[in-house]
Structure 1
């Protein structure tokens, strides 16, 4: 049974006048009469008593009206929700992010989404860049926030930001008292870093930084998350290099020291598979560009 015909029934029951009901429904009066007759045939009983002077609900019509009102209301809610989904105002988006994005633009993006599209549901997971690409290909993630360059180029990418790098050293390290140092000052230091197969973009950028300064990093310890690396630095296991936004991770026992001008920058990009598109996903990508000022 078409919900549309039940809606016609509800409006006519309210007006008890075919002309006024047809005007409210924006259809011709004969069309309304035909639709009501078709509904009555489907139901097997008359809904209205009609004569030239009046239109009145039958006993059967009065009995059916509450259920018809409920169905009509549900239909209207359904159509409103469908419009929100079509416009990217509702739905679920699965977002993966590199851990260091927590100290950069990710909180701003989440606040912007909550303000501009509060009906969107976000499922957020921390995951390193190369793992995100695998998850995207497996359709386990809708959008990734990664650190380029990547081992395997994604299907689509929007570059969002680039950050300067800073050194993180133990609080009692000889370099801890400086505001800015030359990258070459780190040449003889033991490094704590991501494994290259886990964070390709991060690894490549740090190696570029060190290469510009004339040395290769001596990596003595590996970690899978930026906060783990900082914790290991606090424990005196070595030093590391992180994006400047990680300064907000003010862990006791760690000092952040600026690095003198270098061409090396750590980027942040949104990546996604355009063959798996839907409005909410496209809306989040647009909002990521807005937060980045693109």
Structure 2
């Protein structure tokens, strides 16, 4: 499938006319019709009902059209951003992050960075910590925010904050009668671990916290996304151990309790290329320090 197939289909779907679409595209109608047939062969589905007047989209065609609109709009954004950067109007700066970082300091940091440097085009990539290593080395991202320390001479890591972990319970769970709970108590409960993959990840950090105390949680479910894990907690499937910032979800069907064990943290770590000496990174580091200091007050 090539980009022209998407553009041709978009024209047909938006006009519901092969003749009008051909005129918009400045091509003859027969080759346009052949291209749409070719697209249908590629996706293995009929997209256009040709016997109706005017022509109509099939259910598969309506779905494909919705996706095409989003994709072409994104491509236009990429083209426009590329032109601005090539013309010197903007620089490109890509941020990688683990999802749980978005419930803590990272949104405030990005907001300040954008205000501080409105000339920068900022991109975002959701990546677990280990994926950030390859992305940094290949230049796909300029900075990453994760939770696992990276042992690689090409990557420099700065721990921004040690975030306390909390237990997440469904409503009316018996342990909610306590002001705090222990890891031993959690280990005896039905436990939900996340993310299931890729590994290593925050899941291994949680398992190590238990293992250091000779505990082995009763894992009944592994979820790929943190929000899925929280949803399973709400459904009464089990309990979970989450960073304290997750309370920012403000779910009415999940209740959190602090741990009675001392010094149980998950760090938020900023990862960069060790050789990167850019002014942008220096500014981001400085802003990160300000945000951490403000949030710790």
- Whether TM exceeds 0.5 here: the answer is yes
State how far apart, in whole Å, the 2-side matches of 1:231 and 1:153 are: 39
CA 1:167 to 1:153, structure 2 compared with 1: closer, same or farther past 3 Å?
A: farther
- 8 Å CA contact 1:205–1:264 kept in 2: the answer is no
State how far apart, in whole Å, the 1-side matches of 2:102 and 2:270 are: 14
State how far apart, in whole Å, the 2-side matches of 1:104 and 1:262 are: 21
What's the CA shift for 1:179? 2.5
Aligned residue for 2:175? Answer: 175
What's the CA shift for 1:197? 5.6
CA 1:178 to 1:291, structure 2 compared with 1: closer, same or farther past 3 Å?
A: same
- SS of 1:247's equivalent in the other structure is helix
- 8 Å CA contact 1:150–1:200 kept in 2: the answer is no
- 8 Å CA contact 1:149–1:200 kept in 2: the answer is no
CA 1:231 to 1:208, structure 2 compared with 1: closer, same or farther past 3 Å?
A: same
| Aligned pairs, number | 209
Aligned residue for 1:10? Answer: none
Unaligned runs of 5+ in 1: 1-80
CA 1:190 to 1:134, structure 2 compared with 1: closer, same or farther past 3 Å?
A: farther
State how far apart, in whole Å, the 2-side matches of 1:284 and 1:137 are: 19
What's the CA shift for 1:260? 0.8
State how far apart, in whole Å, the 2-side matches of 1:276 and 1:149 are: 18
Aligned residue for 2:216? Answer: 216
What's the CA shift for 1:102? 1.1
- SS of 1:262's equivalent in the other structure is coil
Aligned residue for 2:101? Answer: 101
CA 1:169 to 1:113, structure 2 compared with 1: closer, same or farther past 3 Å?
A: same
1:229 aligns with 2:235: no
1:239 aligns with 2:246: no
Q: What are the equivalent positions in structure 2 for 1:139-288 lying under 5 Å apart?
A: 139-150=139-150, 155-195=155-195, 198=198, 200=200, 202-275=202-275, 278-288=278-288
CA 1:282 to 1:136, structure 2 compared with 1: closer, same or farther past 3 Å?
A: same
Deviation track 1:38-76 (CA, whole Å, cap 9, x = no partner) reads xxxxxxxxxxxxxxxxxxxxxxxxxxxxxxxxxxxxxxx
Q: What are the equivalent positions in structure 2 for 1:40-189 lying under 5 Å apart?
A: 91-150=91-150, 155-189=155-189
State how far apart, in whole Å, the 2-side matches of 1:133 and 1:203 are: 18
State how far apart, in whole Å, the 1-side matches of 2:165 and 2:284 are: 27
Instruction: Tell me the TM-score normalized by structure 1.
Output: 0.63
What's the CA shift for 1:242? 0.7
RMSD of equivalent CA atoms: 2.8
CA 1:153 to 1:206, structure 2 compared with 1: closer, same or farther past 3 Å?
A: farther
Aligned residue for 2:6? Answer: none
Deviation track 1:120-150 (CA, whole Å, cap 9, x = no partner) reads 2211222211122222222211110010234
- 8 Å CA contact 1:165–1:266 kept in 2: the answer is yes
